[in-house]
Amino acid sequence: MTNRRKRKALGLLFEALCVLAAGIAILVLALILYYVFRRGIAVVNFSFLTSLPAPVGVAGGGIGNALIGSLLMVGLGALIAVPVCIAAAVFLDQNPASKLSAFVRFATRVLSGVPSMVIGLFVFGQLVLRTGNYSALAGGIALSIVMAPIITLSAEEMLRLVPSSQREASMALGATKQQTVFRLVLPGAAGGLIVGVMLAVALAAGQTAPVLLTALTSRFWLESLQQPTASLPVLIYHYATSPFADWQAHAWGAALVLVVAILVLNVTAQLFLGLSNRRR
Amino acid sequence: MKKQSLLTRVLAVLACLVTLVSLLPAMAQADTRPITIEFNARELRGDVAPQIIGGRTMVPMRLIFEALGAEVTWNDATQTVVGRQGNVTISLTIGNRNATVGGRAVALDQPAQIFAGRTMVPVRFIAESLGATVEWDDARRIVRITSAAQSRMRSPVTSELRMTTGGASFPFPLYTRLITEYAAVTNPRVQIEYASVGSGAGIRGILARTFDFAGSDAPMTAAQQAQVWPNEVLHIPTVMGAVAVVYNLGGIGSGLRLTPGALADIYLGRVTHWNDPSIRLLNPTLSLPDQRITLVRRSDSSGTTFIFTNYLSKVSPTWRTDVGEGTTVRWPGTTIGGAGNAGVAAQVSQLPGAIGYVELSTAVQSRLSMAHMQNRAGNFIAPSVEAASAAAIIMEDASFMTHPTDSIAHTAYPIVGITWILVYRDQENEAKARATVDFLRWAVVERNLEPFAAELHYSPLPETGINRVRRLLQSITFGGQPVWR
């Protein structure tokens, strides 16, 4: 009897602790959102989103080129990473036990643990130093490496969720391996794959180090992929550490835009996941 | 007869030749090659080609007026053309040699006239009346018109150019301002990117040639210079700035007096409390608290640290032998690090009893209390734009290659640094070479940076420094030829 009561009390205690921990995690997020909104909302308007940054002491100015630069580089990164990583995930799914699969899985996990600064340095050394120029292209490549492990690992998980009974049914009906992958496995896991990509994009959008080392920054409009390119995290980094009140205000504004964009991506990803789960 | 006929024939041939030769200039005058009109280096083309009539180049009226941004009206009854640009009005009547410009009568060689259904007007008269300059290139038959606005522009390069530069964060706010202004006064436009990545990264960037030029608060070492031999990286000084000693002592505002010795002792960890007799003696009117001194320093590789430690090395033999100067040093006392000037400012403002060093604009913007430092002449000086300028009036180093710390000038603040732009002496790209030289000439030699510098708490170079910059820029070459024109 006492034993049962003790167990019940212990259970309640742990439940309370868990709720508390969850509450703290949510509180931190809420505080960040509240703080960024309060400090940033004052400067965000249409002209802030569409104009070039202004120098110190000049009124106005915005983050237009950084917004475009970030969108472009993240898009470029996704364009490079998504096909390669999904293909890798299909390989892992089709050959789950092969030696190569084990190696690919290991390499991907290691890559996911590599600090983004090191990825930036790698692209800087291999591309920027060799071509002698910072560029949006280098930035996109660096971000694709940042995204790669997340997309690969999540895609593999999502593909594995497609029931083997369905695959066997497909094979039994005489479909080839190729047909099974393209007509059954990939469409079945589409929702989950998109979620993984979105989360990777959201993560890449907030990266400073790989972009700073490869795309540098720019105070002008983007004209080609071969030029130094502005991005939101680098702009925030520069403005937030400056001693000028107007730049600091712009850093808050840019932070708000970035946080909202990432939040929207995450929420959309969650909705997608919910939708695809319900369909199944 | 036969002999005579030979002579006649020779004479006839000669006569023909003479006539031909005498006709040549006349033929040259009747040059029928088309005439080109160039406006601000772009060709102007109308539906009727320009014509030379009576030695004057005539063009369709709308073409020239509209290129110059003038409004044109045509009065059919009086056969009069009126062009209006700003407050200048030009009126011409078809077939009438008398025109008016802003109400004054002007006599024309050639009146406005109808040609191929278009009203043709004398191009030079119209352009010059509206403030443009006109040149005639006889060999290529080009009329070159440069508008008043364009002639105020700088054209170091022939097509739009972008340059990638970066380095020191100390002059970053000033450089971004200059770069924006410079892009607005160049046509074709020169756009310069300057990334605030720190002096060390700036030097690495110029060595790796990822930067077209770099900013640095620390001069390159001999070993770094050796890497580019036989080329050379020139150090072009742009502005100077004071490094303020800031502190957080509750009610005590700016004006705490410090001697070089006291400052060195504080950072050496020998003076550990604010009410130490050595500080109290300097500030008899202040009630200094019995509080531990917290030393704040830069955690990153920093030009500001270089200026600060360069100063301490000059004033304290112990500092020179035990610590030395550098963008990073082994601090002898217990210190707290802050990243960037803003990081140090944040630490100092949050920690009661803290002392730190930041560049003047950060100290002013962060509203920190600043110490008055005793200079070599014995005066206690507050950090300011003027007191930093004074430090360079008597430069012991005429090459402007070292920081003017511990100046002997009476009104000088003693902790002052120069910031440099690093440029290769022998350039690899002609357009970039021209743009670099023109930008630095515009900013430093022609003193266009000075209004912005004062606003952002930087001090402009003295006359001697500007002369030094001119000589340095004149020594920059492309393909063995100087770039400066």
Residue B478 confidence class, pLDDT cut points 50, 70, 90: very high
Higher pLDDT, B36 or B236: B236
> pLDDT value at position B396?
66
Mean pLDDT confidence for B307-322: 95
> pLDDT value at position B30?
58
Q: Is a pLDDT exceeding 80 seen at residue B5?
A: no
Higher pLDDT, B331 or B1: B331
| Highest mean pLDDT out of A65-79, B108-122, B131-145 | A65-79
| Highest mean pLDDT out of A138-147, A190-199, B297-306 | A138-147
Nearest to B345 among A53, A212, A243 (CB): A243
> pLDDT value at position B17?
62
Cβ neighbours, 10 Å, residue B178: 25
What ipTM goes with this model?
0.73
What whole-number percentage of chain B has pLDDT above 90? 47
> pLDDT value at position B454?
85
Mean pLDDT confidence for A9-13: 93
Return the number of CB contacts < 8 Å for A and B: 77
Residue B133 confidence class, pLDDT cut points 50, 70, 90: confident
> pLDDT value at position A273?
76
> pLDDT value at position B397?
72
Q: Is a pLDDT exceeding 60 seen at residue A279?
A: no
Residue B291 confidence class, pLDDT cut points 50, 70, 90: very high
> pLDDT value at position B311?
96
Cα Rg of chain B, angstroms = 34
Q: Is a pLDDT exceeding 60 seen at residue B2?
A: no
Q: Is a pLDDT exceeding 70 seen at residue B37?
A: yes
Asked if B366 lies within 8 A of A243 by C-beta distance, the reply is yes
Cα-based torsion angle of the residue sequence B390, B391, B393, B399 in order, rounded to the nearest 10 degrees: -150
Q: Is a pLDDT exceeding 60 seen at residue B27?
A: no
Burial of B121 (0-12, 13-18, 19+ CB in 10 A): buried
Mean pLDDT confidence for A13-34: 93
**B341 interface with A at CB cutoff 8 Å:** yes
Pairing of strands B459-460, B257-258: unpaired
Contacting residues of A for B176, CB less than 8 Å apart: 53, 55-56, 219
- As a whole number of angstroms, the longest Cα–Cα distance in chain A is 76
Q: Is a pLDDT exceeding 70 seen at residue A280?
A: no
For B295, list phi and psi in degrees, rounded to 5. -90, 125
Contact B308, B243 (CB under 8 A): yes
Asked if B172 lies within 8 A of A54 by C-beta distance, the reply is no
Residue B83 confidence class, pLDDT cut points 50, 70, 90: confident
**B247 interface with A at CB cutoff 8 Å:** no
Higher pLDDT, B327 or B267: B267
Shortest distance between the Cα of B485 and any Cα of chain A, in A, equals: 28
Token duo for residue B84 = 């209006």
- Residue of A127, A236, A241 to mutate when probing chain B, most B C-beta within 10 A: A241
> pLDDT value at position B383?
96
Which range has the worst mean pLDDT, B11-15, B235-239, B426-430?
B11-15
> pLDDT value at position A278?
61
Q: Is a pLDDT exceeding 90 seen at residue A252?
A: yes
Which range has the worst mean pLDDT, A84-98, A237-251, B414-428?
A237-251
Could you read off the pLDDT of A156-211 as tens digits, one per residue? 999 999 998 999 999 899 999 899 999 999 988 888 898 899 989 999 999 999 99
> pLDDT value at position B423?
96
**Is the previous residue joined to B317 through a cis bond, with omega within 30 degrees of 0?**
no
Contacting residues of B for A58, CB less than 8 Å apart: 177, 180
Mean pLDDT confidence for B205-231: 92
Could you read off the pLDDT of A218-233 as tens digits, one per residue? 888 888 888 899 999 9
d(CA A22, CA A25): 5
For B417, list phi and psi in degrees, rounded to 5. -125, 160
Residue B265 confidence class, pLDDT cut points 50, 70, 90: very high
Mean pLDDT confidence for B284-296: 93
d(CA A86, CA A92): 10
Place of tokens 């006291």: B262
Q: What is the mean pLDDT of chain A?
A: 90
> pLDDT value at position B269?
93
Which range has the worst mean pLDDT, B51-60, B133-142, B146-155, B198-207?
B146-155
Could you read off the pLDDT of A101-123 as tens digits, one per residue? 999 999 999 999 999 999 999 99
Asked if B210 lies within 8 A of A134 by C-beta distance, the reply is yes
Shortest distance between the Cα of A129 and any Cα of chain B, in A, equals: 7
Mean pLDDT confidence for B97-108: 86
Residue B300 confidence class, pLDDT cut points 50, 70, 90: confident
Burial of B302 (0-12, 13-18, 19+ CB in 10 A): buried
What whole-number percentage of chain B has pLDDT above 70? 93
Q: Is a pLDDT exceeding 90 seen at residue B262?
A: yes
Sign of CA dihedral B177, B178, B183, B184: positive
> pLDDT value at position B41?
73
Shortest distance between the Cα of A111 and any Cα of chain B, in A, equals: 26
Mean pLDDT confidence for B438-449: 94
d(CA B117, CA B3): 61
Mean pLDDT confidence for B17-33: 58
d(CA B261, CA B374): 10
For B415, list phi and psi in degrees, rounded to 5. -105, 90
Q: Is a pLDDT exceeding 70 seen at residue B13?
A: no
Residue A26 confidence class, pLDDT cut points 50, 70, 90: very high
Chain A residues near any Cβ of chain B (below 8 Å): 53-58, 128-129, 132-134, 212, 216-220, 223, 227-228, 238, 240-245, 247
Nearest to B342 among A56, A228, A242 (CB): A242
Higher pLDDT, B33 or A277: B33
Mean pLDDT confidence for A38-42: 91
Nearest chain B residue to A132, by CA: B210
Could you read off the pLDDT of B405-436 as tens digits, one per residue? 999 999 999 999 999 999 999 999 999 999 99
> pLDDT value at position B1?
44
d(CA B100, CA B108): 10
Tell me, letter by letter, the H, E, C secondary structure of chain B.
CHHHHHHHHHHHHHHHHHHHHHHHHHHHHCCCCCCEEEECCEEECCCCCCEEECCEEEEEHHHHHHHCCCEEEEECCCCEEEEEECCEEEEEEECCCEEEECCEEEECCCCEEEECCEEEEEHHHHHHHCCCEEEEECCCCEEEEECHHHHCCECCCCCCEEEEEEECCCCHHHHHHHHHHHHHHECCCEEEEEEECCHHHHHHHHHCCCCCEEEECCCCCHHHHHHHCCCCEEEEEEEEEEEEEEECECCECCCCEECHHHHHHHHHCCCCECCCHHHHHHCCCCCCCCCECEEEEECCCCHHHHHHHHHHHHHCHHHHHHCCCCCCCCCCCCEEEECHHHHHHHHHHHCCCEEEEEEHHHHHHCCCEECEEECCCCCEECCCHHHHHHHCCCCCCCCCCCCCCCCCCCCCCCCEEEEEEEEECEECCHHHHHHHHHHHHHHHHCCCCHHHHHHCCCEECCHHHHHHHHHHHHCCEECCEECCC
d(CA A211, CA A215): 5
Nearest chain B residue to A125, by CA: B208
Q: Is a pLDDT exceeding 80 seen at residue A242?
A: no
Residue A96 confidence class, pLDDT cut points 50, 70, 90: confident
Tell me, letter by letter, the H, E, C secondary structure of chain A.
CHHHHHHHHHHHHHHHHHHHHHHHHHHHHHHHHHHHHHHHCCCCCHHHHHCCCCCCCCCCCCCHHHHHHHHHHHHHHHHHHHHHHHHHHHHHHHCCCCHHHHHHHHHHHHHHHCCHHHHHHHHHHHHHHHHCCCCHHHHHHHHHHHHHHHHHHHHHHHHHCCCHHHHHHHHHCCCCHHHHHHHHHHHHHHHHHHHHHHHHHHHHHCCCHHHHHHCCCCCCCCCCCCCCCCCHHHHHHHHHCCCCHHHHHHHHHHHHHHHHHHHHHHHHHHHHHHHHHHHC
